[in-house]
Amino acid sequence: MTTKRFAELGLSTELLKAIDKLGFEQASPIQAEAIPVLMTGKDVVGQSQTGSGKTAAFAIPAIEKVKPELRAVQVLILCPTRELAVQVSEEVHKLALFKRGITALPIYGGQSYERQFWGLKQGAQIVIGTPGRVMDHMRRGTLRLEQTGLVILDEADVMLNMGFRDDIETILKAAPATRQTVFFSATMPKAIRELIEHHSREPINVKVEQRAMTVPTVEQVYYEVDRRYKVELLTRLIDIHDLKLGIIFCNTKRMVDDLVEALEAQGYLADRLHGDMTQAMRDRVMQKFRKSGLEFLVATDIAARGIDVDDVQVVFNYDLPYDGEDYVHRIGRTGRAGRAGRAISFASGRELFQIRNIERFTNMRIQRAKIPTAEEVHEARESFFLDKVRATLAAGQYKRQDHIIERLLEEGFNSTDIASALIHHLQTDEAAAVRNVPREPANPPRPPGPATRPRREPQSYDASPRAESRPRERFGNDRGGSERSSAPPWKQKDQAQKGTGERPVSPTTPMPGLMRPAKPAAPASPTFVPSPQAPPAHVEQAPDKTFSDAEIMDSVRVSGPKTENAGAIAPKPAAGAAKVRHSRATPTGQTRLWVGIGSEHGVKPIDMVNVVAGETGLPGKVVGTVDVREKHLFMDVSAEHAFAIISRLNRTQVLGRKIKAKVA
């Protein structure tokens, strides 16, 4: 299956700029096949599996066909559910970022009519809605389709299964007969074929065929984990398996950069490989990787073509690939030359359907694995250390220090205490010996930061605190969504020990262990440090303060219905920690939101920062002043992202309460 860059599809400069800003380099198979056909104006029937990138496949041509000067509904996109309508709307907003004068409006049940009336009156050109609410607006006369030249039915088979057949028929009959009609569906039952025959004119079928392929003998597993905890799980797996050389695949350049930063901050030797780098930079990175100067290479598919390194221990699918063929190409980077290989994939929510698609494509079963607990990681580190000591004792390759040991014994110390003290000094020395390795600069230059970062040597262990990463949603995952849950699955076992006298461990708590000791200057307990992305104008910096284990466990914040896969954990600031100032004036470039939760519900400013960042994937700096009142609060957010933040907040829960958010 051939792949194409978006630049090869004849798109406008504005769209290519938006796609590049999102960090994508190549089109998925369904996008490469459908976009050129849709641009010709012909009716299309697209068939591809969930998660293959269908949303962008029809959204990009739809945006290109809109005339900004015409303030009328020109494109109508029908979706089966309100969640999908919102998701498609957000994708359209991102893609139309540089297209001036184009407005997209989601309309669905459960949302205020006033907002929808206002948007339609202002002349939204792209309407994304559910059949029921679209029909409602048509009956009221607030939605007219006389100027509609493109009608798209997304997940047509699902809409028919939900009983929208009559509504769809009515909507299609109301649209002009000369319109372009597009059907996208994962399956093609008889009812869909009948609908296509009645309402399409000589449609062109676009179907991404998947031919069966075999994969090398590689151990394949997947973990079900929320996207907010992927970094923590990744580092746990690296430590528990003592991995020294691996490739981590992401779907976007931005995700590659974010993940490299997170790994470097935790002391791992990692570097990036993606399309924004010059060939000379790629060559230098690959040379370091082949010589084991790097532990982990984080790459996109298009940049990783042709990687041929025999000793790769593991391939991580940090983001699942768009189709089974890409999956086969990825895991083929390990297990070469008869060596054992391991392929580990991360999935959450509807991405599990992609796992099933990959299984059908490869004719192999991918086993679901259990997420390791902090105690299992601790035990693994001790085992690795003991193995090193045993190997050294067996080989006899050490200088004897009998005279020192005899002096200590004569002074009354027993042999166990002497050995424990020596191991303690060994740990401290190894942590202090972690050298700083200069990183290859990215292209274009990244924002200024520390000149050097502590890196983890292959045989040294550093217990620097975990850094939270908020990966953005994948461009091709057009059915995914943000899971809003209380705790990741590994936390359940950790919390179960709370009553046993053992220290409870949360996913963001540095994992204790013999092999990765704390740095000498670090406090014994985790320290709350305000996010570097937080706006400095609204934060007063107080002296560092450590928190007790009880405070750490009490800081768990619930953001949505509880599941076993996700959670939002934020340290609870105590007196003297960073505080958010309250201000009545809204700064330039920000929008003030009203949120229906206040101090009587126990909410604090840091909770709202965490919820916005966790639900939207945006950096913490988009949130400015948070003014908490008794029954509600006011929150200043970036005007550019205000609509997306309102949309997310209205579909989530804070401290177990469903909240309402709107422009103040």
What pLDDT, on a 0 to 100 scale, did the predictor assign at position 49? 61
More confident residue, 615 or 200: 200
**pLDDT surpasses 60 at 226:** yes
Contact at 8 Å (CB) between 90 and 644? yes
pLDDT tier, 44 (very low <50, low <70, confident <90, very high otherwise): very high
Contact at 8 Å (CB) between 167 and 135? yes
Contact at 8 Å (CB) between 46 and 64? no
What pLDDT, on a 0 to 100 scale, did the predictor assign at position 586? 67
What pLDDT, on a 0 to 100 scale, did the predictor assign at position 298? 93
The fourth-level CATH superfamily of domain 211-394+422-466 is: P-loop containing nucleotide triphosphate hydrolases (3.40.50.300)
Torsion from C-alpha of 600, 601, 602, 606, nearest 10 degrees: -110
Instruction: Please write down the long-range contacts of 239-242, taking CB distance under 8 Å and 24 or more positions apart.
Output: 239/377, 239/380, 239/381, 239/511, 239/513, 239/516, 240/372, 240/376, 240/377, 240/380, 241/314, 241/342, 241/380, 242/380, 242/384
Contact at 8 Å (CB) between 108 and 160? no
What pLDDT, on a 0 to 100 scale, did the predictor assign at position 145? 93
Q: Residue 358 carries which side chain, given as an amino acid letter? A: I
- Mean pLDDT (whole number) for 83-111: 89
Q: Residue 525 carries which side chain, given as an amino acid letter? A: S
Residue spans of the domains in the chain: they are 4-207, 211-394+422-466, 489-506+523-663
Percent of the chain with pLDDT over 90: 26
What DSSP designation does 75 have?
E
**pLDDT surpasses 90 at 444:** no
What pLDDT, on a 0 to 100 scale, did the predictor assign at position 93? 93
Q: Residue 20 carries which side chain, given as an amino acid letter? A: D
The pLDDT mean for the chain works out to 75
Nearest to 304 by CA among 344, 335, 331: 331
211-394+422-466 and 489-506+523-663: identical CATH topology:
no
The pTM (predicted TM-score) of the whole model is 0.46
548-598 per-position pLDDT tens digit: 444 333 343 333 333 333 333 333 344 333 334 444 556 778 899 989 898
The fourth-level CATH superfamily of domain 4-207 is: P-loop containing nucleotide triphosphate hydrolases (3.40.50.300)
455-482 per-position pLDDT tens digit: 444 333 333 333 333 333 334 443 333 3
**How is 1-21 classified by DSSP, letter by letter?**
---EEGGGGT--HHHHHHHHH
> Is the four-CA dihedral 384, 390, 391, 392 of positive or negative sign?
positive
More confident residue, 103 or 215: 103
The fourth-level CATH superfamily of domain 489-506+523-663 is: RRM (RNA recognition motif) domain (3.30.70.330)
CA–CA dist 186, 354 (Å, integer): 12
Q: Give the highest mean pLDDT range of 103-117, 300-314, 508-522.
A: 103-117
CA–CA dist 319, 226 (Å, integer): 12
**pLDDT surpasses 70 at 351:** yes
Residue written as token pair 């996207």: 227
What pLDDT, on a 0 to 100 scale, did the predictor assign at position 379? 81
CA–CA dist 199, 206 (Å, integer): 17
Nearest to 262 by CA among 307, 229, 300, 289: 229
